[in-house]
């Protein structure tokens, strides 16, 4: 009887933790989206922040899948959903791991300050100095 209560409590605790993690990750992604929108307009983006955004996106997918797995009823006859959950978890884990590897390499090579610079996009009506000859 106590084991059933403990397992139920652990499941509820995990659902709450997954839910809070998922909401916080979504809020961070929204804030980073606004940051990246400004940075892409300026045509200069921090590689470290881009890697962090990639990691956070993969982590958010992972939390959504974890919440889905914990919240759904697992039945033996539903092998399609079980396989889909397993594949989604594996994909999210690989994305999270790649994000962590990129962040670790950037941190330990002391390359946190690398920036990507995008060239300006020419429009048809724009005339450059070299084209005026």
Assigned domain for 126 exists = no
Domain count, the chain: 1
> Is the pLDDT score of 118 beyond 50?
yes
Assigned domain for 125 exists = no
pTM of the model: 0.64
pLDDT tens digit string along 55-111? Answer: 888 888 888 888 777 767 544 456 777 777 788 888 888 888 888 888 888 888 877
Strand partners, 109: none
Q: Please classify residue 14 by burial: count the beta carbons closer than 10 Å to its beta carbon, then call 0-12 exposed, 13-18 middle and 19+ buried.
A: middle
Assigned domain for 90 exists = yes
Assigned domain for 129 exists = no
Q: Residue 115 corresponds to which tokens in the numbers above?
A: 């920036």
Report the chain's terminal Cα–Cα distance, integer Å. 88
Give the C-alpha separation, 115 to 40, whole Å: 11
Q: How many CB atoms lie within 10 A of CB 61?
A: 19
Assigned domain for 16 exists = yes
């Amino acid at each position: 009887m106590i084991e059933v209560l403990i397992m139920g409590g652990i499941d509820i605790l995990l659902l709450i933790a997954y839910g809070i993690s998922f909401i916080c990750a979504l809020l961070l992604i929204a804030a980073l989206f606004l940051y990246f929108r400004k940075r892409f307009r300026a045509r200069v983006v921090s590689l470290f922040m881009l890697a962090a955004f990639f990691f956070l996106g993969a982590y958010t997918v992972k939390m959504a899948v974890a919440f889905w797995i914990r919240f759904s009823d697992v039945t033996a006859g539903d092998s399609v959903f079980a396989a889909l959950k397993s594949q989604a978890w594996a994909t999210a884990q690989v994305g999270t791991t790649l994000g962590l590897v990129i962040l670790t390499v950037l941190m330990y090579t002391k390359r946190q300050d690398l920036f990507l610079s995008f060239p300006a996009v020419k429009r048809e009506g724009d005339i450059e100095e070299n084209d005026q000859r």
